[in-house]
Amino acid sequence: MAHDIQPAALDDRLETPPDRPYVLDIRPAADYRDGAIDGSHNLPVYADLQRGDDEPLRTELGSLPSDRDVVVICKQGIVAKRATSILRAAGYDAYTLRGGMSAWRGYERNSLLYRLRRLYWRLR
């Protein structure tokens, strides 16, 4: 079972307050400041997870809401998958934003690359 969510589905859920997930952006703080999803929360553990160090994320688990889905975002969605796995193992209903912020930005602009990605995802 895939534990990811596509940008359009996340956007729909962000517009529905009772179903609104907690959006956890794990990118470095500078990247987050350069552009983030409205209402998201930054926990800059990207570099740690990339190095294989999951302790900084585990240390912060208690600060995450346990009564909402958590959607994890990184640059391309690859490192976020690791964070999602850690959260799911800890009992959270966690999902990775498929394609990360790259896909989100493409979704917002309805870029050709995003439309091709979406087609690819459907065909898989």
- pLDDT tens, 26-57? 999 999 999 999 999 999 999 999 999 999 99
Amino acid letter for position 15: E
Q: Where are the domains of the chain?
A: 4-123
Which letter, b or e, does each residue of 82-113 get, where b requires 16 or more Cβ atoms within 10 Å of its Cβ?
bbbebbeeeebebbbbbbbbbbbebbeeeeee
Q: How confident is the model at residue 64 (pLDDT cuts 50, 70, 90)?
A: very high
What's the CATH code, domain 4-123? Answer: 3.40.250.10
Q: Who's near 48: CB < 8 A, 6+ residues apart?
A: 54, 55, 56, 57
| pLDDT number for residue 1 | 45
The dihedral region occupied by 110, where left means phi > 0, alpha psi between -120 and 50, and beta the remainder, is left
Read off the DSSP letter of residue 61. G
